[in-house]
Amino acid sequence: MRHQLVLVIDFGGQYTQLIVRRVRELGCYSEMVPWTKAAERLRESRPSAVILSGGPRSVLEEGAPNLDFSLIKGVPTLGICYGLQLMAHRLGGRVVSASEKEYGRRHLTGVRASSLVDGLANDQVWMSHGDQVEESPSGFVTTAQTDTCRVASFENRDERQYGVQFHPEVSHTPDGRRILRRFLFDVAGLDGDWTSQNFISDEIHRIRERVGDEQVLCAVSGGVDSSVMAALLTQAIGARAVCVFVDHGLLRHREAEQVIETFSKTFHPHLVVIRAADRFFSALKGVTEPETKRKTIGAEFVRCFEEHADELKGCRFLAQGTLYPDVIESGSPTAAKIKTHHNVGGLPDWMRMEVIEPLKWLFKDEVREVGRQLGLPDDVVDREPFPGPGLAVRILGEVTPDRVRITQEADWIFRTEILKHGLQKGIWQSYAALLDVRSVGVMGDERTYENPIVLRAVQSEDAMTAQAYPFPFEFLEHVCNRIVNEVQGVNRVLYDLTSKPPATIEWE
Ligand code: XMP
């Protein structure tokens, strides 16, 4: 494990990941751990600082998320919202259920000199809580209030324990970054040397140690994550990083050719290409349930890789471009399992190869930065994310070659038009999905009874949340006309306006 870890203990707060991101932006390595696993983690290794997240529960409820504070004795600690309340509750203060929920912008008053929150350029903070600290524990001083909150922040300098009722990690607390910076550097004395360059050298060292003289099969999809992973492995172990690209027939129009060309032109001349569309279509025959689809595809991928590894006379390792959000979303005990991202939860038990996931602690923008540092070209680094199971998760119902054809054609029109109109900037992902309902239409005096296409384009920072892209109406109308006129098998086009949450970016 890396030294100087800032461990963020997650009590189920909606901003916990944002805390991790903010800490990393300040140059300190940070990971989050659900509160249920915190004790185990803290016994394994001692972090350099701890941040306790917010959370939806009340510390006063029976069975509320908890922490054994003796495990972090002496470790600089910052409690945020629920974290502050838990500190107060467990260390001898008093928390009460407030008559009114405090939500939104507030201003700090009565700020105590030379405290963590002293001397901010802007006293506006973002609150979102029901309970409040009524009395700080002994040894703590209250360092700020708001008009409705008696303890907006407190601290016990001797024990290096700090708490804020508001959220310094959100942009609605304009000086939140300064508070975090003070905590990390002035209180905890961290070095702030977490940079992509250090990540690369650490990771190369780790990969070499783990792999020894063995070969590693790098599963590449042409997407940013697996390309960066492959570049990192190649830098670590040279030609023993065997890059394999499976064309499962579920890619976008002309995508396979583009991937092969980019790889051979840029950094890896020996890309092994496995053409496997037929076997994926056979495996997917009759499969309509989204999770079964993902698992079927995951298993088929592994079969392809293992067969290839056998041909290579043994590749003990399989490297994948799994990212931190995949790890989190694939089911931590506090986050409900939304989908099996095939490169995390969907690997079959019978798989023989050991998995290497060098990027699994990084967010997408960090991966892009690592890619740039490794010298990957912009068109690889800035590519739109594309899911491993490909169009299968954008084709509702059964995946057949003809339904793939329809989706590819509609998708191609949509994305070509986006580029033609110069709208790509600011779009995180854009695609066409095919539904499995049919509706009646009329074309050239004939009745039609076909599937609709849904267009989806979202803005996002890290795929954890997303909003629909606000296209001009005329643009959507134009794309719709082209699709119904040019793509055989489609008689209606819809635009998906739903944000994430409550929807997800992919339809399945
Ligand atoms: P959702 O649909 O969960 O997607 O909002 C979040 C991001 O993850 C991508 N995605 C995947 N990536 N394997 C991947 O490598 C997968 O199985 C997978 N499923 C979704 C999705 O495109 C979006 O960027």
Domain coordinates in residue numbering, the chain: 5-187, 196-381, 400-495
Q: What is the mean pLDDT of residues 274-301?
A: 96
* Burial of 362: CB neighbours in 10 Å, binned 0-12, 13-18, 19+: buried
Does residue 500's CB lie within 6 angstroms of at least one atom of ligand 1?
Answer: yes
Of 28, 129, 149, 167, catalytic:
167
To test ligand 1's pocket by mutation, which of 341, 391, 461 has the most ligand atoms within 8 angstroms of CB? 341
Give the residue among 75, 55, 339, 337 at the shortest CA–CA distance from 189: 75
The Cβ of residue 55 has, within 10 Å, a number of other Cβ atoms equal to 25
- DSSP code, position 337: P
pLDDT tens profile 312-350:
777 899 999 999 877 776 655 555 566 776 565 567 888
The Cβ of residue 130 has, within 10 Å, a number of other Cβ atoms equal to 16
Q: Do domains 196-381 and 400-495 have the same CATH topology?
A: no
Backbone torsions φ then ψ of 356, nearest 5 degrees: -115, 125
Determine the pLDDT at residue 3: 67
Lowest mean pLDDT among 136-140, 153-157, 352-356, 485-489: 352-356
The answer to whether the predicted template modeling score (pTM) of the entire model surpasses 0.75 is yes
Q: In what order do the strands lie in the sheet with 30-34?
A: 30-34, 6-10, 49-52, 77-80, 161-164, 153-156, 141-144
Determine the pLDDT at residue 464: 77
Q: Check: CB of residue 458 under 8 Å from CB of residue 444.
A: no
CATH code for residues 400-495:
3.30.300.10
Domain 196-381 is found in CATH 3.40.50.620:
yes
Determine the pLDDT at residue 273: 94
**Cα-based distances in Å from 500 to 229, 260, 303, 334, 389:** 27, 33, 33, 18, 20
CA gap 113, 141 in Å, rounded: 11
Structure-token pair, residue 222: 């042409």
Is 243 annotated as catalytic?
Answer: no
Determine the pLDDT at residue 311: 79
Q: Check: CB of residue 407 under 8 Å from CB of residue 488.
A: no
**pLDDT band, residue 1 (cuts 50/70/90):** very low
- DSSP code, position 500: B
pLDDT at 168 over 60: yes
Kindly state the percentage of the chain with pLDDT values over 90: 79
Is 300 annotated as catalytic?
Answer: no
Give the residue among 341, 342, 506, 383 at the shortest CA–CA distance from 433: 506
CA 131–ligand 1 middle distance (angstroms): 36
Q: Check: CB of residue 200 under 8 Å from CB of residue 159.
A: no
CA gap 50, 38 in Å, rounded: 11
Q: What is the mean pLDDT of residues 413-438?
A: 97
Mean model confidence pLDDT for the chain: 92
Structure-token pair, residue 398: 């059964």
Ligand 1: atom nearest CA of 503 is 5
Of 169, 329, 366, 417, catalytic:
169
Nearest CA to ligand 1 atom 3: 504
5-187, which class in CATH? alpha beta
Does residue 463's CB lie within 6 angstroms of at least one atom of ligand 1?
Answer: yes
Does residue 429's CB lie within 6 angstroms of at least one atom of ligand 1?
Answer: yes
CA gap 440, 491 in Å, rounded: 8
Is 169 annotated as catalytic?
Answer: yes
pLDDT at 223 over 50: yes
pLDDT tens profile 243-257:
999 999 999 999 999
CA 256–ligand 1 middle distance (angstroms): 19
**Cα-based distances in Å from 98 to 20, 103, 141, 184:** 29, 12, 21, 31
Does residue 385's CB lie within 6 angstroms of at least one atom of ligand 1?
Answer: yes
Ligand 1: atom nearest CA of 340 is 17
CA 325–ligand 1 middle distance (angstroms): 9
